[in-house]
Structure 1
Amino acid sequence: MTAYEKPELDSTAVGKLLEELYGHPVQDLQLLTGGNLSAVYSFGMDEEGCVIRFSDLAGAFRTESYISQLLCSQGVPYPRMVSLGQAGHLAYAVSERVQGQMLAELPVERKKALLPDLIELISRINHVNLGDTSGYGWIQADGNGVYGSWMEYLISFYGEDQTGNFWGNWTELFDTTFLEKDVFDECYARLMEFGSYNAPHRHFVHNDCHAWNILSDGQKITGILDANSVYGDFLIDVSIAENILSGENLAGRIREYQERQGIELPFFKERMLGARYYKGLDGLRFYAKMGRKQDYDYLRHFLLNLTR
């Protein structure tokens, strides 16, 4: 299995598509960096900034309208969806552009100054009102989760018989890359143990809130992008965000903040372990598929040395 490569598009073709969509040429079309799975362009439209993303993955952007409406309607600074469509074999999504630069690009001292904003943002996302929706795991276009329980979702997410998505035939990675089956199996066993502590909790989980998906103008957090959303334990987002600044105990600070808001966090340590194994195990196979050996080795060491 070769490393996944996101779609490559000629900017002229992108400009032509946008002209067909809007009836006139757009302004300042630029290819943006970042994005592991989508090709992303920014452009100007009626004095407003917009972004168009392209993906060749099955089901890409299918829940974008629901997620955008859910978050924007409850005060989360998330891109407002403009339109969805298909261009040949590629799905595309057009959204309003959130101003700011990636948090990952800011100096450490500026990131530290933004921690209170970051903690408030993550807490707001994780406690949006889910209405009368039901289910766990991947969120469907109607707002319901695909699975009846968190554990059912976990088993499916790491199932061997996946086809038609990014992880189709992923177990071939054991033979074709540096992904180690014994390490994977050990971490999976730990995930099943500690995932049971996450199982009773159901919240909106962004599921990809790392520093490349969070924007800032240098003075405040201005937005968050590209949710890969599931319904589950919100400590999953905490386990991702804690890597934005090492040595700052972001998980502990988020815990203190939420407890001050009257939010109880039973079995916090066990749930954090379940969250770290859930995201970490996916990270191992992702880094193997993308050929990122140094990142794989670092994460491998981290997971195997987590203390109970």
Structure 2
Amino acid sequence: MTAYEKARLEIGRVEDILKQHFGSSPAGVMPVEGGNLSSVFSFKYEGRGCIIKLSDMDGAYNTEGYVANLLTSQGIPFAKCLGQGKSGTLSYSISERIRGGNLIDCSDHEKQSQLPELIEILTRMNYAELGDTSGYGWIQPSGAGAYPSWREYITSFFAEDQSGTFWEGWHGLFQSTCLEKDVFEECYHRLLAYAKYNEPHRYFIHGDFQPWNILSDGRQITGIIDGNFAYGDFLIDLATLNGTLGELDVVQAYQDYQNREGIIIPDFHERLTGARYFKGLDALRFYAKMGWDDAYRQLRDELLQLPE
């Protein structure tokens, strides 16, 4: 199995898609760096800064509109969805362009000064009111979760049969990449053992809450973008953020904030361990598929050192 390559598009093709969508031509279409699975471009339309993401994966942006409305209606600084559509085999999603750059590009001092605000935004997002919805796992365009329980979601997430998705045929990675079957199965059994602590909790999960999806002007957090949106234990997002901001102790900062706000999180350490196994296993197979062998080995060693 070869490493995944996202769709590569010329600016002219993107201009044609935008003209078809809006009925008139946009201005200043330019590629934007980033996005492992999407091709991203910025442009202006009627004086407004916008972003278009494009992907050849089926259903890539099915829930973007629902989630954007859910979060922005509750005052959470998430990018507003301005439109979606299809062009041939490509799906696309258009959103407002939030000022600022990726948090990952800020200096260590800037990251540290913004960490309290980041933890506050994360908490507000995780505690978003979900309305009359049910289910766990992937959020559907209707707002429902795709599975009746968290355990069914994670067993489906790592099942061998992933026909029609990004992970179709992923067991082939055991033969063709650095992905080690014995390591994966050991961590998967540990995940199932800890899942009992995560199962009772149903909240909004961003699903990819890391500093490439967090925007900043260097002084404050300006917005949140993208995500693999799901319902489940919100500590999934903390597990994703942990270790991505250099030497900053994200988990301690999170606990300090919860204590100040009087928020009690039962079984915190067990739930965070379960969340780290869940995100870690997904990252292991992703790094293997992308050919990022060094990142794979580092994460593998970290996971094997977690509690069994």
TM-score (norm 1): 0.98
Aligned position for 1:201: 201
User: Is the Cα–Cα contact under 8 Å of residues 255 and 265 in structure 1 kept in the other structure?
Assistant: no
Matches within 5 A, 1:105-144: 105-144=105-144
Aligned position for 2:4: 4
User: Is the Cα–Cα contact under 8 Å of residues 26 and 43 in structure 1 kept in the other structure?
Assistant: yes
Aligned position for 1:213: 213
Q: Which runs of 5+ in 1 are unaligned?
A: none
Aligned position for 1:14: 14
User: Is the Cα–Cα contact under 8 Å of residues 71 and 128 in structure 1 kept in the other structure?
Assistant: yes
Local SS of the residue matching 2:121: helix
Aligned position for 1:80: 80
Aligned position for 1:180: 180
List per-residue Cα deviations over 1:215-273 (Å, max 9, x = no partner). Answer: 00111000011021110100010111122324332112212312332322111110010
The offset of 1:162, in angstroms, is 1.2
Aligned position for 1:59: 59
User: Is the Cα–Cα contact under 8 Å of residues 259 and 265 in structure 1 kept in the other structure?
Assistant: no
**Matched pairs, number:** 308
Matches within 5 A, 1:243-258: 243-258=243-258
> Residues of 2 paired with 1:132 and 1:143: CA distance?
9
User: Is the Cα–Cα contact under 8 Å of residues 76 and 124 in structure 2 kept in the other structure?
Assistant: yes
C-alpha distance 129-282 of structure 1, shift in aligned 2 (>3 A): same
Code of the aligned partner of 2:300: R
User: Is the Cα–Cα contact under 8 Å of residues 173 and 179 in structure 1 kept in the other structure?
Assistant: yes
Code of the aligned partner of 2:67: I
> Residues of 1 paired with 2:23 and 2:162: CA distance?
41
User: Is the Cα–Cα contact under 8 Å of residues 60 and 91 in structure 2 kept in the other structure?
Assistant: yes
Whether 1:39 aligns to 2:26 is no
Aligned position for 1:102: 102
> Residues of 1 paired with 2:229 and 2:201: CA distance?
15
User: Is the Cα–Cα contact under 8 Å of residues 4 and 290 in structure 1 kept in the other structure?
Assistant: yes
115-124 or 239-248, which deviates more: 239-248
> Residues of 2 paired with 1:106 and 1:48: CA distance?
25
Aligned position for 2:262: 262
User: Is the Cα–Cα contact under 8 Å of residues 202 and 232 in structure 2 kept in the other structure?
Assistant: yes
Code of the aligned partner of 2:85: G
User: Is the Cα–Cα contact under 8 Å of residues 210 and 243 in structure 1 kept in the other structure?
Assistant: no
> Residues of 1 paired with 2:161 and 2:151: CA distance?
17
Whether 1:297 aligns to 2:297 is yes
TM-score (norm 2): 0.98
The offset of 1:201, in angstroms, is 0.5
> Residues of 1 paired with 2:96 and 2:60: CA distance?
18
Local SS of the residue matching 1:192: helix
How large is the RMSD of aligned CA atoms in angstroms? 1.0
Code of the aligned partner of 2:273: L
> Residues of 2 paired with 1:149 and 1:257: CA distance?
29
> Residues of 2 paired with 1:300 and 1:182: CA distance?
11
List per-residue Cα deviations over 1:51-99 (Å, max 9, x = no partner). Answer: 1111111211111111000000001111111111101000011111111
Code of the aligned partner of 1:50: C
> Residues of 2 paired with 1:17 and 1:248: CA distance?
42
Local SS of the residue matching 1:114: helix
List per-residue Cα deviations over 1:84-139 (Å, max 9, x = no partner). Answer: 11010000111111111000111111111111111111111100001110000000
> Residues of 1 paired with 2:28 and 2:219: CA distance?
26
Local SS of the residue matching 1:93: strand
> Residues of 2 paired with 1:24 and 1:156: CA distance?
43
> Residues of 1 paired with 2:70 and 2:259: CA distance?
25
Q: Which runs of 5+ in 2 are unaligned?
A: none
List per-residue Cα deviations over 1:9-55 (Å, max 9, x = no partner). Answer: 11111112212322332111110110010000000111110011111
Code of the aligned partner of 1:228: N
**4+ runs deviating over 3 angstroms:** none
Local SS of the residue matching 2:83: strand
Code of the aligned partner of 1:219: R
User: Is the Cα–Cα contact under 8 Å of residues 211 and 245 in structure 2 kept in the other structure?
Assistant: no
Aligned position for 1:281: 281
